[in-house]
Amino acid sequence: MFHSIGLIDYGMGNLHSVQQAFKRLNNPVKLIRSPSDLTNLDALILPGVGAFDPAMKNLNSTGLIPDLKSWVNDGKPLLGICLGLQLLFESSNEGQSEGLGLLKGHVEKLPAVDTERIPHMGWSLLKKHNQCPLFNNEPEPLWMYFVHSYSAIPKNKNELAATANYGIHQLTAIVWKDNFGACQFHPEKSSHSGQKILGNWLNWLKHQQ
């Protein structure tokens, strides 16, 4: 089944790679740049690459923030990617701007670890904590590609669906609440495992209509 999915374009997203990933899954996405584009959609994707404050500034300039909040509060599906995960939270140490506040919690700089570099860049294995629509009982390990210097700290641990190792620490990899959530890694750059995650989300959408 084809889903009408909107990919939010606010000047901070890795749009081309996300578009290509969904084309490979035979479900192209539509770019969303203003509230007038939010028609006849089944789901939204909030991507993001860069810093927290410029992202919130750019997102605010689109006029989409009230609509995004209403979309999620109405129980409609949304998937955040990378910085798109961090923007869902209340605030970040990376800047002064308020986040979307759709998830309770804060975003903090990665801890200093002798064995790791900042930014955290490369492949890490997911450790599942709570079931969410991005999982479908995959028997094989799921390795995902990360590029980030900040990590979200959810207040509600039930919303923490998966983590990834960072030295002795466990970093937030997937958060999920009700019909929306996000991944810190880049599924569109994570080869077969990433396609599996996105495919699971598309399959889940079938049951949300």
Residues 75-91: pLDDT tens digits? 999 999 999 999 999 99
Check if the beta carbon of residue 113 is closer than 8 Å to that of residue 152.
no
CB 107 within 8 A of CB 150: yes
- Annotated catalytic residue: which of 90, 129, 186, 207? 186
Question: Assign residue 149 a region: left if phi > 0, alpha if psi is -120 to 50, beta otherwise?
Answer: alpha
Q: Is 188 a catalytic residue?
A: yes
186 counts as catalytic: yes
User: What is the pLDDT, as a whole number, of residue 139?
Assistant: 77
Taking the C-alpha atoms of residue 198 and residue 123, their distance in angstroms, rounded to an integer, is 17
- Is the pLDDT at 152 greater than 90, yes or no? yes
Least confident range from 11-15, 86-90, 159-163: namely 11-15
- Pick from 2, 89, 86, 85: which is nearest to 45 by CA? 85
Task: Give me 14's structure tokens.
Answer: 């890795």
Chain mean position to CA 172 = 11
pTM: 0.96
Task: State how far the alpha carbon of 1 is from the alpha carbons of 5, 25, 79, 134, in Å.
Answer: 12, 11, 18, 17
Go through the domains of the chain in sequence order and give each one's CATH number. Answer: 5-205 (3.40.50.880)
How do residues 95-146 score in pLDDT, each as one tens digit? 999 999 999 999 999 988 877 888 989 999 999 999 999 998 877 889 999 9
Indicate if the pLDDT at residue 209 is higher than 70. Answer: no
The tokens describing 193, both together, are 């495992």
Q: Which of 3, 82, 94, 132 is catalytic?
A: 82
